A and B are shown apart, each in its own frame.
Chain A
Amino acid sequence: MSESILSVNSMVTAFKTKDGLLPAVRGASFSVKKGETLCIVGESGCGKSITALSIMGLLPSNGKVTEGSITFENKNLLSLKQEELRKLRGNDISMIFQEPMTALNPVFTVGYQIREPLMIHQKLSKKEAHQKGIELLKRVGIPAPASRMNQYPHELSGGMRQRVMIAIALSCNPKLLVADEPTTALDVTIQAQIIDLLNDLKRDFNMSLIMITHDMGVVAEIADRVIVMYAGEIIENGTVSEIFNNPQHPYTRGLLSSVPNVDDPDFHLNPIAGTLPLLSEKISGCRFHPRCPHAMEKCRSVSPDAFQAAPTHSARCWLMEDEEVRQHGGQRASTV
């Protein structure tokens, strides 16, 4: 198996708020291998974007990684200077955002925005950058790319703007691409085009991808591994087939049965009761226990460890304790 390109260990990211320092990510550990796609799933507010922004070094000013480490190709990202981080973002790691309109600058042409990083990071001349820019737009499937270079973002459709974002993110041939809900704002036909595009790019360039989404359908189409987050914690981590075919955590199972199956006329909708807790809410024991249909006495007081369901599959839930003792002689997981 190939080695990790990125590894995040026991990372805590907290925000200074009027209620004090509140953790939005609570001890996250995971890694991404070369060429692998990791999907981060979970409901709005669970900490997906903040996990991504922590890796990128792009947290809002009141947020900070307070514990743990982030290692990219043997470099500890948390100890890098701003300047070194910026260089890394221009050359090795790129990010695409949910709303392309906010990430593209409305007053500059597409061409300007795609040439800039090429001229800065790859030291191309303006002419070379222009040529490369046209190639990139072509690669992401934009028709008549040369004339698009002179247009402004508002003159493009949502799907085209998202493609321009991807083209800019790819301009440095990143080793790792972080995509935060890149298709959520798009219609399904356009979403399908973008998913196909990302899959093609992964295959052609052996790029690693971290994809954030709340759409389990998108996950099934693109992921190799999946981590499920709930209220700031990674509660399950496994290969895509382990997560879909043998989900362990009650929350993961709940997520899967909350989405009506489009192919099943008799689908039984089985919603999870309640809502995600606020950042400021104190919850003892398992953070899911107020909503969990299987909660036991122990769940209310003691936070569950990560248990191993298979060598590549772990989840934080007390229900797995007996199961694991039986199968693995009580070994504790280290991957969640």
Chain B
Amino acid sequence: MAGSAQVLYSVKGVKKYYPVKGGILRRIKNHVKAVDGISVDILKGETLGVVGESGCGKSTLGRTILGLEQLTEGNLVYNGTNISGYSKKELKPFKKEMQMIFQDPYASLNPKQTVGEALEEVFIIHTNLSGKERRENAIRLLKEVGLTEEHFDRYPHEFSGGQRQRIGIARAIAINPSFIVCDEPVSALDVSVQAQVIKLLQDLQKKHELTYLFVSHDLGVVRHLCNRVLVMYLGQMVELAPVDRLYENPVHPYTEALLSSIPRPVVGAKRDRIRLQGDLPSPANPPTGCPFHTRCPIAKDHCAAERPEWREIEEGHYIACHER
């Protein structure tokens, strides 16, 4: 990913708030600030990792930029076209370009539909292929993700978790999208199957020149798979950097703590872990100023008062912190 890389999808100041209702009148009492101001240019052909603790807004970000959630604020510019205010109909050609792979492949498949039907359905919605062509294409897809023609007439419950994830992947690549949001696609899988699916995702990316937004809490998988990584905390961006820079030289105190918390599979490794105090605050009631100040080991008084600005500290490496 050189500096000259082209921007495929520009995410500008995106916010997604969910209302919290309460009281007898069920009035809106408050908002969960699930995504609270994310701006990032996703480059053609890259894998952009999104990491952070559970509840920090990773999935919401993924869904929002796929147009599956109404934007609260911000702009989405896909391949030069601002699609933020688009109607469902206007969005259709763009939806064909963007797909999603989910953590729980079972929940994303219809249990009453055979795998063949599930794949053909995608062609019915987005193409005018004949029945015969649809079947041929579905079988080609099954083979491409490491399944066989025999799987065509089987139902989701007849597959293992890893196989179901392959079906989810086949569906996502069926109509040659350019951009895929992978939301924890291997988190529910055992390590040996997880490694197989990671390999498949890498092979498909190369073959079809795909761009991935890869959401994960597994920092090992992210290092292995991603070109750049965005670290989120309570809906906000705290650090963005090329993958090796981020892992070798994390600058934001939260990234530092996150990386130092990973248990390393090395016996007797020196552990100088940064112990974070306390738990993640509620996104309905985020701290003022820097969202991390309640747990930050180097927080100063002004951190609670002013939100740090997002700035570039070296080429392609951004952070939001007053002290670093």
Contacts and interface: CB of A to CB of B under 8 A. Distances in A.
A262 B258 contact: no
Nearest to B54: A187
Interface in A217-239: 217-221
Contacts of A4: none
B80 interface: no
A188 B195 contact: no
B104 to A, nearest CB: 15
Determine the interface band of chain B, counting residues with CB < 8 A from chain A. 35 or more
Interface stretch (A56-64, A97-105, A190-198, A293-301): A190-198
B257 interface: yes
Contacts, number: 119
Interface stretch (A18-26, A86-94, A251-259, A319-327): A251-259
A246 B242 CA distance: 34
A2 B234 CA distance: 49
Interface range, A side: 35 or more
A44 interface: yes
B94 interface: no
A245 B267 contact: yes
Interface string B244-274: 1001000000000111111111111101010
Nearest to B217: A187
Given A187-B53, A265-B244, A244 B267 contact: yes
A43 B195 CA distance: 13
Most buried by B among A159, A214, A216, A269: A269
B221 interface: yes
B219 A262 contact: yes
A316 B165 CA distance: 32
A220 B264 contact: yes
B224 A269 contact: yes
A233 to B, nearest CB: 16
Interface stretch (A7-15, A129-137, A146-154, A271-279): A271-279
B265 A219 contact: yes
A321 to B, nearest CB: 25
Nearest to A262: B220
Nearest to B247: A262
Contact of B191 (A157, A255, A265): A255
Interface string A165-194: 000000000000000000000011111110
B261 A189 contact: yes
A271 B190 contact: no
A105 B258 CA distance: 32
A191 B275 contact: no
B322 to A, nearest CB: 21
B276 A189 contact: yes
Most buried by B among A189, A217, A258: A189
A217 B263 contact: yes
Give me the 9 closest cross-chain CB pairs, A-B, nearest first: A217-B263, A271-B195, A260-B224, A192-B261, A43-B190, A216-B265, A258-B195, A272-B192, A260-B220
Given A189-B258, A258-B194, A271-B199, 18 more contacts: A158-B54, A187-B217, A187-B280, A191-B261, A192-B273, A195-B263, A196-B273, A196-B275, A214-B191, A220-B265, A221-B271, A259-B195, A259-B265, A260-B198, A265-B223, A267-B223, A271-B192, A275-B192
